[in-house]
Structure 1
Amino acid sequence: MLERKRVKGRTQVTFILPEDTPGGPVSVVGDFNHWNPAAHPLESRGDGTRAATVALPAHSAHSFRYLAADDHWFDEEHADGHDGLNSRVHT
């Protein structure tokens, strides 16, 4: 799931997954962090979910995917779209 919040010309996008699906660590990686899995690991929120928030320029579009343990890449089911292998988010 994606949540968005406008803050001073930028959009904070929060990437949210269930706490245990998939098991193990998960990161959101995309063109906004040079596909670096260490940049935005999802952290537990205490409500049964885990999330990472990224500040992106307003009125832009970005490609991203999730990376879980054992090199398991997967897409966001509720993304704004897809461009081949990647999910897309519009701010």
Structure 2
Amino acid sequence: MTFALPLGLATGRCSVGGDFNDWRPGRHELRRRTNGTRSTSVTVSRGTRLRLRYLGENGNWFNDPDVADVDGSDTILVV
């Protein structure tokens, strides 16, 4: 699974946290790409349901704006 965001969505460092990595900030940091995005990849089994959020600088948690499935404050994705 590749998580990607536009560069301008969050300033500074940004990582993805969720039930797949025990919500560890910084464990899956999104890296700048030449195509104007930042991304990281995580290996998960097909059919897995993920709860996740992105963590920007200053402890700012936010959801993926392109994913409509939200449960409480978490984004929900099925791989």
* TM-score for the superposition, normalised by structure 1: 0.81
Aligned to 1:29: 17
Maintained 8 Å contact 1:61/1:88: yes
Aligned to 1:69: 57
Aligned to 1:44: 32
Aligned to 1:56: 44
Query: As a proportion of its length, which structure holds more strand?
Result: 1
CA distance in 2, matches of 1:78, 1:40: 19
- Offset, 1:79: 2.1
Runs of 4+ in 1 over 3 A off after TM superposition: none
CA distance in 1, matches of 2:11, 2:43: 26
- Offset, 1:17: 0.9
Gaps of 5+ in 2: none
Aligned-CA RMSD value: 1.1
| Percent identity of paired positions between Structure 1 and Structure 2 | 34
Amino acid at match of 2:42: V
CA distance in 2, matches of 1:48, 1:20: 9
CA distance in 2, matches of 1:77, 1:19: 13
SS in 1 for 2:29: coil
Cα distance change, pair 80–57 in 1 and its aligned pair in 2 (3 A): farther
Give aligned pairs, total.
79
Which of these two proteins has the greater Rg computed from alpha carbons? 1
